[in-house]
Every structure is written in C-alpha cells, then in structure tokens.
Amino acid sequence: MSSKRFYTLSASCPDQVGIIARVSGFIAGNGGWILESSFHADALTGRYFMRIEIKADSLSFLLAEFRERFRQEVGEPLQMDWRINDSAVKRRVVVLVSKQEHCLYDLLARWQAKELDIEIPCVISNHETFRGFVEWHGIPFHHVPVSADNKAAAYAEMQRIFEDVHGDTMVLARYMQILSPELCDALAGRIINIHHSFLPSFAGAKPYHQAYTRGVKLIGATCHYVTSELDAGPIVEQDVIRIDHSDSPEDMVRYGKDIEKTVLARGLRYHLEDRVLVHGNKTVVFR
C-alpha cells in the first residue's frame, strides 16, 4: 500500500472480454498512474472482480468528477458494482464490546500506534466494565444495556449513535449479543464480527466447549460480516492453531484469544483498505 494519497477503485461486473482494457484505458486516458492492481475471474459465477490503486495527484480533476466520469464511461456500460475511496479520508470505526477485553485492547493499541490509521468516534457496550479504560484513551463510551425486554429499543439506539457519529464500520470486538435483523440490514456489509471458531464449525455459543466435546485437533477464529443469520455472514479472514487431547476448554479459550485478536485486526484492515468484495455469501479478498 502506498504511503502517498491514492484512490482505490474496487468493482465487480459480469465477466467479458476487454474489462481490464476498458478500465485501465479510462485511467490512463485521464493521466492516472496505477500503483497497484488485482484481478480475479470466478468461472463458476461468471463474475469478474478488481481492485486498483490510483495515485491521486496524477489526475487533473477531483474525486467527485472522477466518480462521475467513471460511472458514465465505464461503470454503466460494463454493468459494474463499484466504489472509489480516498486514502486521505480516515474511516470511522465504532467498536462494540461486552465483558471480554482482549480484542478491544488490541484494537485500541493498534489505533494508538497508528497501525490502524482510523478514527474511533466511540465505543458502545452493554456493560459498564470498560468505561474507564475507553475514556482514558479519550474516546466517548456509550452504555446501552440489552435485555429480553428492550432489544428493539437498544439496537435502535445503537444505530442512532452510529449514524450520529457518522460511522463507516461497526466492529463487534467480542460483543456477545445477537444484533437485530433490522440493524443487520441497515448496515449490511458494514458490520464486522470476530467469532471464536473456524466457521462454519461450531457456530453459536461456547464454541471452544463444542470443540472440546468433538475432540478436534485444530481450533480457530473467523472474521466475518454480520447478517441476520447467526454466524453465517460472508467470511473475510480465518486462522487456526493446533491443540491436542490434553487441552481443556479453558486452555482453548486462552489460546484462542491470541488468534482472535490477529484475525480481527487483519480482517478489519482488509475491509478498511477496500480489499474485500462481497458476492452473495462469499468474498474475494485481495491481500
């Protein structure tokens, strides 16, 4: 990834002859300098995917005009789903957490070190546990209790907060509540979760205990987009570690914390850098 300002074009369209020529010709025809490019053709679905970084100051016009020209000359003729983002605009990431701290601590450490060059406008939790820690970082903390009696109102409040702070992405950093279908639909493709198993194995509650009962030799973690179907959204990133018969469920929980942190951080970075293109319930990830 370039350290200088660039625009990222990510797109998919029906596979056909001349896609790269049409896109690169448009960029070159407007003086654009391509810094990085990735392409993938899915033979089973007949869909073509691409991600291109363009040096911002190589173009003679602003991003708004670039978007409009691209729409007219390339996007519509090729029937593309596309977006173009500016590396100079920091993404605003709202973090949700419950009572487990490891993913929250890791994200804030990466944010503070600018390893994740983002803005965190607030943290939302269904418990007060981490208020002091979050506010020590200078980040607003919102306590939104969730119970069987107030779920609709609680999730409406969370959506209100997200919209009020102009959030771009919502991250569930071991947030142990099932979001409402309405919230999932309203923020489709913008909510990222870390699940403490190698999905689709052991979805739902206590996956490490499920893994122990099943006697598996590998456990893992999965970063995925949240949908109304529990732990079944498009997968962004996964990893595993090896265990054996001597490991207890508590051991697995301890081992799993390390892998959960790294998988969530990688998956979030891929998302923020527009490296993830969703197609149905699958993803293309340009690493």
Give catalytic residue positions.
231
The secondary structure of 169-194 as a DSSP string is EEEESS--SPPPHHHHHHTTTSEEEE
Candidates 13, 43, 6, 86; CA nearest to 23 is: 13
The secondary structure of 21-35 as a DSSP string is HHHHHHHHHTT--EE
What is the spatial distance between Cα 216 and Cα 58, in angstroms, rounded to a whole number?
Answer: 53
What is the spatial distance between Cα 229 and Cα 245, in angstroms, rounded to a whole number?
Answer: 32
Burial 248-272 (b: 16+ CB within 10 A, else e): eeeebbebbbebbbebbbbbbbbbb
Pairing of strands 6-14, 47-55: antiparallel
Strand partners, 92: 119
Q: What angle do CA 94, 100, 103 make, to 5 degrees?
A: 50
Strands (DSSP E) contained in 56-133 are: 81-86, 93-97, 123-125
